[in-house]
């Protein structure tokens, strides 16, 4: 039996089929929770954000026109829930970083060697910790666009749809976020700015 695609499940959900919406939740709950956790850094907050995102998605389903994929639309709702949470708490939270983040200069954080030496392992862990601390210090909108682009791999078009802004605005926001991250890293490493 073939699994129904998102568009069929959305159509059924719009018609009031709760089982279809539950299937969409099952399909995306790990990704949405992961996004919320990466943004908030707190299990309880991430759970609240994810629940709010799905609640808001269900409530807004009648207005979903399918101009973007359901996933992109759901990421947008989750991004808004993340921003709402940070406004509500008015604080910066810890942001864990499990994956390598592409930097502005086009390099990934060092990839894991098959058998790294203890020194290499320590250097990677120190760099990973440095990036975590630097991301933590960035404003919420900078963190969010970096997470969506660099960790979730959203395209520029998907970012436009997710963040509700133009291509030029996305490019400017992403450039500023990358620059801010680079400056934070350089400042914390006490390197001269170039």
pLDDT in tens, 91-150: 444 343 433 343 333 444 444 445 567 777 677 778 778 887 888 788 888 888 888 888
What pTM value is reported for the model? Answer: 0.61
Q: Which fold has domain 107-194?
A: Arc Repressor Mutant, subunit A (1.10.10)
Q: Around Cβ 164, how many Cβ atoms within 10 Å?
A: 11
Q: Note the residue count of the chain.
A: 194
pLDDT band at 22 (very low <50, low <70, confident <90, very high): very high
Which segments of the chain belong to CATH 1.10.1740.10? 1-94
The pLDDT score that the predictor gives to residue 109 is 43
Which segments of the chain belong to CATH 1.10.10.10? 107-194
Which pair of tokens denotes residue 10?
Answer: 């959305």
158: which residues sit within 8 A by CB, 6+ positions away? 68, 69, 72, 75
What are 45-93's pLDDT values in tens digits?
889 899 999 999 999 999 998 888 899 899 989 988 887 776 676 444 4
68 Rama sector, left if φ>0, alpha if ψ -120 to 50, beta otherwise: beta
Sole residue written with tokens 């900078």? 142
Pick among 3.10.180.10, 1.25.40.10, 3.60.21.10, 1.10.1740.10: CATH of 1-94: 1.10.1740.10
């Amino acid at each position: 039996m073939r699994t129904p695609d998102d568009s069929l499940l959305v159509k059924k959900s719009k018609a009031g089929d709760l089982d279809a919406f539950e299937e969409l939740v099952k399909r995306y709950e790990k990704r949405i929770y992961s996004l919320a956790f990466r943004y908030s850094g707190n299990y309880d907050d991430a759970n609240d954000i994810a629940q709010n995102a799905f609640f808001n998605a269900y409530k807004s389903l009648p207005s979903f026109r399918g101009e973007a994929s359901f996933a992109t639309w759901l990421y947008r709702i989750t991004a808004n829930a993340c921003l709402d949470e940070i406004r509500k708490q008015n604080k910066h939270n810890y942001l864990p970083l499990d994956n390598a983040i592409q930097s502005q200069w086009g390099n990934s954080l060092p990839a894991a060697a098959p058998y790294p030496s203890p020194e290499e392992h320590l250097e990677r862990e120190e760099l990973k910790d440095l990036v975590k601390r630097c991301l933590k210090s960035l404003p919420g909108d900078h963190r969010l666009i970096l997470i969506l682009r660099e960790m979730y791999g959203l395209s520029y078009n998907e970012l436009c749809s997710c963040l509700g802004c133009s291509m030029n605005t996305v490019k400017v926001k992403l450039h500023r976020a990358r620059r801010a991250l680079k400056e934070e890293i350089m400042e914390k490493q006490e390197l001269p700015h170039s």
